[in-house]
Amino acid sequence: MTDPIADYLTRLRNAIMAHHRVVEVPASNLKKEITKILFEKGYILNYKFIEDGPQGTIKVALKYDPTTKASAIKCLKRVSTPGLRKYTGYKEMPRVINGLGIAILSTSKGVMTDKEASTLKIGGEVLCYVY
Residue 58 pLDDT: 97
Residue 1 pLDDT: 79
**Spatial separation of the C-alpha atoms in residues 101 and 73, rounded to whole Å:** 10
110 in the Ramachandran plot: left (φ > 0), alpha (ψ -120 to 50) or beta? left
Predicted TM-score (pTM) of the model is: 0.94
**Spatial separation of the C-alpha atoms in residues 38 and 116, rounded to whole Å:** 14
User: CB–CB of 10/77 below 8 Å?
Assistant: no
Residue 33 pLDDT: 98
Comparing 34 with 1, the larger pLDDT belongs to 34
Q: Above 90 in pLDDT, residue 40? A: yes
Residue 53 pLDDT: 83
pLDDT tens digits for 113-122?
Answer: 999 999 999 9
State mean pLDDT over 1-29.
96
Domains along the chain with CATH numbers: 4-62 (3.30.1370.30), 76-130 (3.30.1490.10)
The fraction of the chain above a pLDDT of 90, given in percent, is 97
Q: Above 90 in pLDDT, residue 60? A: yes
